[in-house]
Amino acid sequence: MKRRFRTLAAIALIAALFLGSCATKFDQFVDQPLKITFIETSDIHGAIFPYDFITGKPLATSMAQVAGLVKEKRAAGEVVLLEDGDSLQGQPTVYYYNFEKTGVPHIWSDVLNYLAYDAVTVGNHDIEAGHPVYDKMVKELKMPFICANVVDEKTGEPYFKPYAVVTRQGVKIAILGLTEPKITEQLPRAFWSGMDILDMVETAKKWVPIILEKEKPDLLVGLFHAGVDYTYGGQTADTPKNESGSQLVAERVPGFDFILVGHDHAGWDGMGFDPATKKKMWVKDPAGKVVPIYGALAGAAAVPVVEVSLRWDRPNKTWIKEVNGTLLALKDRPADPDFLAKFDPYKAELMAWVERPIGKMSGKITSDVAMFGDSAFVDLIHKIQLELCADPAMGLKPAQISIAAPLDMYAYLPTTADGTIKVRDMFSLYKYENFLYTMDLTGEQIKKFMEFSYGGWFNTMAGPEDDLIAFAKDKEGKLIFNARYNSYDTVTRAYNYDSFAGLNYTVDVSKPVGSRVTITGMSDGKPFDPAKTYSVAINSYRGSGGGGHLTKGVGLDAKKLARLEMVTSSTTKDLRYYMLKWFEKQTGVIAPASDNNWKVLPEDWAAAGAKKNYSYLYPPAK
């Protein structure tokens, strides 16, 4: 009996010591809080070096500046480093490793591994790189690649890991990854085959309780590649699969301590967005707890640095948490010399590639002219699209009509004084990795498409003093100035300004939306027939329903478009690849020019409006 008593006493003593140690594990942080720094990058878009491989000019910010910031913060304390997507598109740096040099680890994988990121999520432009690229990268990364709402379409299970858990000084941190779910409407199915992308709020409602129950984290962080303004693009708070659902998750799913966002390139400093007042506001979850929201600017122009202070509440055995963050501009920070030395061999190889001559051009074409009417810039894209469709070697269906838009408001080429076209110029001419499709549309459908495009592009003018461009306005009817872009916001982005080749037509901006376009005939002299079916050349973003031209404008079924049921032929690589090959095949000097197949009426009104609005879109640099 005595032996049994001594055994029980020993067990009780051990248990007491154990429980005592647990109770005092964080007692040192009662008076002196524990501090952890979180740094987020997002929407880097290939800006790895402080150099623009498209223009041949320096970049003010890049991952080289981020490397210096990370080094500085790690020297001062504990850091959690997170990447929020959209890094595999934008600069030749990533394009080269996406599609040209594929037999080695991707440069972006090497960057993330070198800087020892803690978790990475996926953006829509990462998916746009295609399965071979992002599936390969996931295997190369030394940190978790997370996204809970991208699921296997057959099993419904997450395609990537849904969340990550990291520990700092005994503090357990759970990070839930989500991405914007409109990818399935924006990109060809080939990019996301075998996947489905679910609503962000519903996914968070599923996974947050699982994380809290299974992991019992001390901190729960959202890493969401999605915007904050849930009214973007005419959506509402209840729009299924809202593209900008980050704030909705914060408001509808309790448990988050703070959320990091991307995709909208807007830059968020802790406060969210009130759609009613168009002003910033503090965001609260269903329990009334403030959930700060932070988000980076594109190209590492500014990154959130979030300081979390945790003070141990001994009586209640829990953390008292304080979250304070800033959106830190990196413009004046020097590039980290160790980072530059590490990746200098990559840069030298990239320079050799982008500098390779592929043709010669007389004169210069710019995309700013394309904002206001027919232009040589977009007509060059039309010309290439139609010629690619006419080339038997391409395997595409011949097209009578081409549809295209300027994908960048600030593009120009050539970038050389002597007219030499280089590989780099293809990224200025065509910004995104779209495929080229052909589709069959009736004349009536084409007319509806045109009305939708010009309805979002041009304002309804009552006289020459009015704006030509359809600018966004606030409740008081005033134009909305966007300080980030140093210009006024338009109703739709310039990459939705679709014009048409193969048709002759006018756009009368004195008439209301929906009744502006008059088609006078085909450009080859044949009559245009609304009842006839025409083959059109169109990029994969638009052909999959992007921008709403084919859905809202024409009335086609979004699901059929997403399944590519309307596509009659397609390239197997992105359009930029074939543009490069097109330039290489040309003999002599290319002389781009507008084909003058359309114009805006009344012409004097349009000219006055364009002159007035040029300074709104392209104001002098401050």
Please state whether the predicted TM-score (pTM) of the whole model is above 0.95: no
**In which element (H, E) is residue 166 found?**
strand 163-168
Contact between 158 and 204 (Cβ < 8 Å): no
User: How confident is residue 30, by pLDDT bands cut at 50, 70 and 90?
Assistant: low
From the number of C-beta atoms within 10 Å of its C-beta (0-12, 13-18, 19+), residue 517 rates as buried
pLDDT at 327: 97
Domain locations in the chain as residue ranges: 26-350, 355-616
pLDDT at 25: 62
Top-level CATH class of 355-616? alpha beta
pLDDT at 1: 44
Which residue, 94, 128, 62, 492, is CA-closest to 296? 62
CA distances from 205 to 114, 262, 330 (A): 34, 20, 35
Phi, psi of 261 (to 5 degrees): -125, 170
Convert the pLDDT of each residue in 262-276 to its tens digit: 999 999 999 999 998
Contact between 246 and 282 (Cβ < 8 Å): no
Q: What spatial distance separates the first Cα and last Cα of the chain, rounded to whole Å?
A: 89
pLDDT more than 90, % of the chain: 85
Find the helix packing angle between 107-114 and 131-140, rounded to 10°: 30
| Residue bearing the bigger pLDDT, 583 or 622 | 583
Q: How far apart are CA 95 and CA 576, in angstroms?
A: 10
Q: How far apart are CA 596 and CA 603, in angstroms?
A: 13
User: How confident is residue 29, by pLDDT bands cut at 50, 70 and 90?
Assistant: low
Q: How far apart are CA 126 and CA 203, in angstroms?
A: 20
Q: How far apart are CA 335 and CA 62, in angstroms?
A: 8
- CA 439 distance to own-chain centroid: 26
What one-letter code names the amino acid at 555? G
Q: How far apart are CA 390 and CA 135, in angstroms?
A: 34
Contact between 295 and 261 (Cβ < 8 Å): yes
- The strand pairing partners of 279, in sequence order, are 274
Kindly tell me if the per-residue pLDDT of 119 is higher than 60: yes
Residue 42 DSSP class: -
pLDDT at 60: 96
| Residue bearing the bigger pLDDT, 174 or 8 | 174
Contact between 263 and 226 (Cβ < 8 Å): yes
Architecture of domain 26-350: 4-Layer Sandwich (3.60)
- Tally Cβ neighbours within 10 Å of residue 86: 27
Beta strands in 332-427 (DSSP E): 357-360, 365-366, 401-404, 412-413, 420-422
Kindly tell me if the per-residue pLDDT of 17 is higher than 80: no
pLDDT at 572: 86
The answer to whether the peptide bond before residue 602 is cis (omega within 30 degrees of 0) is: yes
Q: What angle do CA 43, 44, 45 make, to 5 degrees?
A: 90
Convert the pLDDT of each residue in 465-502 to its tens digit: 999 999 999 888 999 998 878 899 999 999 999 999 99
CA distances from 326 to 99, 192, 291 (A): 37, 35, 15
Kindly tell me if the per-residue pLDDT of 278 is higher than 90: no
Question: 15-48 burial string, b = 16+ CB within 10 Å, else e?
Answer: eeeeeeeeeeebeebeeeebbbbbbbbbbbbbbb
What SS3 state is found at 302?
A: strand
Beta-carbon contacts of 500 under 8 Å, excluding residues fewer than 6 positions away, are 401, 402, 403, 446, 450, 597, 598
Q: How far apart are CA 489 and CA 500, in angstroms?
A: 24
pLDDT, average across residues 215-221: 98
Q: How far apart are CA 473 and CA 464, in angstroms?
A: 19
Residue 518 DSSP class: E
